[in-house]
Amino acid sequence: MLERKQLKDRTQVTFVLPAETPDGPVSVVGDFNRWDPAAHPLQPRGDGTRAATVMLPARSAHSFRYLAAGDYWFDDEHADSRDGTNGRIHT
């Protein structure tokens, strides 16, 4: 799931997944963090989910995917669009 909060010239985007699906650590990776798995690991939240928040420029589009333990790449079904194997988010 994607949560967004519009700010003046930026958009705060929170990438949210269930706490245990998939099992183990998960990171959101994309062109906004140079596809670096260490940049945005998802952290547990009090509501039983885990999330990572990034700030993106307003009126922009970015490719992203999730990377879980065991080199397991997967997509967010709530992405705004697709770009080949990547999801796209539009701010």
Contacts for 71 with CB less than 8 Å, ≥ 6 apart: none
- Determine how many CB atoms are found less than 10 A away from the CB of residue 49: 16
50-65: pLDDT as tens digits:
999 999 999 999 999 9
Q: What is the mean pLDDT of residues 63-73?
A: 96
- Split at pLDDT 50, 70, 90, the class of 9 is very high
Q: What is the mean pLDDT of residues 9-13?
A: 96
d(CA 46, CA 58): 28
13-52: pLDDT as tens digits:
999 999 888 989 999 999 999 999 999 999 999 999 999 9
Homologous superfamily, domain 2-86: Immunoglobulins (2.60.40.10)
pTM over 0.85: yes
